[in-house]
């Protein structure tokens, strides 16, 4: 079976839209980000859904290529690296992103505003790296 590029492109659109919105929050000072709960809650949701879209893409590729069944979302990345779909140098980065999404969903009460602000300031390029890796797959 071939990869359903339209399905992947719809997930890419979610990532790109969320990334654009996160970039609007990025210029805020920590004080301004922290004083309005809407910034924190928006950023949490945007990160969560963007990373879920990443995981959905990974799961779709695994299913379509008939690779082994992953036991977790983190394992989807490992499987795609093992099968040379994603480059090994990005495995740790993508696995950390999925682990962060899991924390947002299951341990949301343990994600504090300072940590989320640091991720917003430092880690947005990780999405662009993921999209670049995906583009390599989609243009083969």
Count of domains in the chain?
1
For residue 110, the model assigns a pLDDT of 80
Sequence-distant contacts of 71-74: CB under 8 A, at least 24 apart: 73/98, 73/101, 73/102, 74/98, 74/99
Instruction: List, for residues 112-132, the tens digit of each pLDDT value.
Output: 999 999 999 999 999 999 999
Q: What is the pTM of this model?
A: 0.93
Q: Is pLDDT at 105 greater than 80 in this prediction?
A: yes
Report whether 127 contacts 19 (CB < 8 A): yes
Q: What is the CATH number of the domain that holds 49?
A: 1.20.120.580
Instruction: List, for residues 53-99, the tens digit of each pLDDT value.
Output: 999 999 999 999 999 999 999 999 999 999 999 999 999 999 999 99
For residue 109, the model assigns a pLDDT of 79
For residue 139, the model assigns a pLDDT of 84
Q: Is pLDDT at 2 greater than 90 in this prediction?
A: no
Residue 27 lies in domain: 5-138
For residue 108, the model assigns a pLDDT of 77
């Amino acid at each position: 079976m071939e990869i359903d590029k339209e399905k992947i492109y719809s997930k890419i659109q979610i990532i790109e839209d969320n990334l654009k919105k996160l970039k609007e929050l990025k210029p805020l000072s920590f004080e301004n980000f922290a004083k309005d709960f809407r910034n924190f809650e928006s950023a949490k949701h945007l990160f969560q859904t963007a990373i879920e879209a990443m995981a959905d893409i990974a799961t779709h590729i695994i299913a379509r290529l008939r690779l082994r069944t992953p036991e977790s979302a983190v394992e989807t990345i490992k499987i795609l690296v093992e099968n040379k779909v994603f480059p090994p140098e990005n495995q740790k980065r993508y696995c950390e992103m999925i682990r962060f999404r899991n924390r947002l969903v299951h341990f949301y009460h343990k994600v504090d505003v300072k940590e989320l602000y640091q991720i917003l300031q430092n880690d947005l390029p990780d999405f662009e790296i993921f999209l670049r890796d995906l583009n390599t797959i989609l243009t083969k």
